[in-house]
Amino acid sequence: MTALLFNARNQVWVQGLGTLVAPWRPSWSGETAPDSVANQLDAVWPDAGTPRWVCDLDSPEPRSVYWARLSLPLEADYQPNEEGVWVSLKTLGERLRDAPETLDPIWKTLHPEVRRRAIDIPYLNFGPNEFIYRFRTDRQRNRAIYQDDNTSKALYQSQLCAAIKTLRRLKENRSGAPAALDFGPVVYLLPSHFGFCLGVQNAIERAYEVIAAYPGRRVFMLSELIHNPFVNSDLQRRGLRYLQTDKGRPIEDPDTGLPYWETLSAEDIVIIPAFGATNEDKVRLIEKGLPLNEFDATCMLVEKVWKAARRFAEEGHTVIIHGKAEHEETKATFSNTAHFGPALIIRDFAEAQILCDIIRETDPAKQRERLAVSFVGKYSSCFDPARDLQKIAVVNQTTLLRNETLRIIEQLEEALRDRYGAAALGEHMHTQSRGDTLCYATQVNQDALGKALESPLDLALVAGGTNSSNTYQLYRLCADRLGTRAAYIQSEDNLTAPGRVQHYHFARTPGDPLAGQQEDRTYPWPEGRPVRVLITGGASCPDGVIQQIITRFNSFFPAESLRSIDAVLAELEE
């Protein structure tokens, strides 16, 4: 038997000096019965988690391979003995390439197996129901970490928003009645739920805490922490750097011209954003010997989708992901799902209809042809539609419209009934594919907005980053109700004059000719009655931005005509 021990940096312990006389050997080797492995390794490594069988090596000396991971924190300087050293998989691979004589021959067979399964290393001590980063309770919140100077306070603090959330947000996962802020010549209507969700709050706190805890280290974010330019700029102001764009393009170090990816060292820190990361990006960090779990800000509701997808795949279902293939979250979900079974991404109702046609097609050759043309880069390797579309399950990008996902599921069910018969539907569509993987914060924001939209309105303003999917879904709800009297904005700067606003065209589909353009829109400016304005923000919109939008809109009226904030709040509390 051979056993490998990994630490929190995803480095492996090797025995020996790495010389011709004392080559690097695996962490432990010996003869033991399978049912005695745990006791044997517990005696050798008392600070490690339960060992896991990984594979049986097909080598001149066949042997079973087990992995174990230390349960000690990142800062612990643990050395199993004085006869070895911790090395990264990258270092081990370079040594195998350049000086194989300084390694035990078993590494020639063992190292490729380790690399192939490297994504499992950080999670060796995780149970099936454990999450990387659980939501913090209100008592555990650390808002002070990002509200320590005037710039950050202006971004994150809002007296009005805090009062609304206290009075109207009776439950985190259930929408309430909207709040009306009567300033006299203008009345603002704000939903009970808007702005930061728990996952975003978790991610922001973790990012600021890491920067503060490691002042002498380079701290990177894999890509944007969240889809809000003001939050990301404030983090950069404090020294944070980004490894790549939200589209996965490497960012270069301005001093060297080299991509940051190429200069990463074991002394650097990389934070994984709220959207999660692809297995491919995680493996690049693992192989370099960088820790993951301690700096992973993946939202637990995104991870909930991954767990559902894994369960579906392990039960023999192909996972259909309703999401945008270019979005970081969907890319991460697809990568994670494809690790366990077949997966395919569909963007919208139109692509779902194409998939339904492929399901109904009985000619395997025509199925493969249609798949290759319509879903380029959107399905896992070795995907065979004749085989892999017989049993399906649906998960979704957490920031989309639930009703749209449900409509797509109904489409797919209809196609499966046509192909296999109504009585056999349960054998071909997973019964839990009912949109249950939508983020509840996304849903409750949409529900709360729906209640606010029932009121008479002159204008709706939806604030969020230009690449924020959940913000766009909120805008869609407003546009369905108000048409061009709804506007997608980023900040108060988009309010150009009374009755005029700059609307941002979100890139709903690739190649959209209007994507990224600003459009000047007009809205009614009534006489003889107050202007009625609905304001909401996406899940990554800070409260300070909402407050600044209200302040800017108030500036369109004579100061003496406006009621004071204290009077507005007092009325709100009645």
Which residues are known catalytic residues? Answer: 329
CA distance 488 to 494: 9
Helix (H) or strand (E) holding 395: strand 392-396
Q: Which two tokens stand for residue 571?
A: 């009325």
Helix, strand or coil, per DSSP, at residue 459: strand
Continuous H helices in 52-179: 89-98, 107-116, 150-156, 159-168
Length of the chain equals 574
Q: Which two tokens stand for residue 499?
A: 């009755």
Contact 209, 230 (CB under 8 A): no
CA distance 393 to 384: 16
Q: How far is CA 204 from CA 158, 194, 225, in A?
A: 17, 17, 8
Continuous H helices in 339-439: 349-360, 364-374, 385-388, 402-420, 425-428
Q: Which two tokens stand for residue 63?
A: 């042997």
Sign of CA dihedral 392, 398, 399, 401: positive
Q: Which residue in this structure is represented by tokens 């839990």?
A: 432
CA distance 184 to 238: 40
Nearest residue to 565 (alpha-carbon basis) of 162, 176, 147:
162
Sign of CA dihedral 495, 526, 445, 430: negative
Type of residue at 462: V
Contact 235, 207 (CB under 8 A): yes
Angle (nearest 5°) at CA 350 between 346 and 351: 30
User: Residue 429 pairs with which residues in a beta bridge?
Assistant: 392
Q: Which residue in this structure is represented by tokens 């046609």?
A: 357
For 352, other C-beta atoms within 10 Å of its C-beta total 23
User: Residue 252 pairs with which residues in a beta bridge?
Assistant: 259
**Residue environment code for 216-255, b if the CB has 16+ CB neighbours within 10 A, otherwise e:** eebbbbbbbbbbbbbbbebbeebebebbbebeeeeeeeee
Q: Are strands 392-396 and 459-463 parallel, antiparallel or unpaired?
A: unpaired
**Residue environment code for 168-203, b if the CB has 16+ CB neighbours within 10 A, otherwise e:** bbeeeeebbebbbbebbbbbbbbbbbbbbbbbbbbb
- DSSP code of 253? P
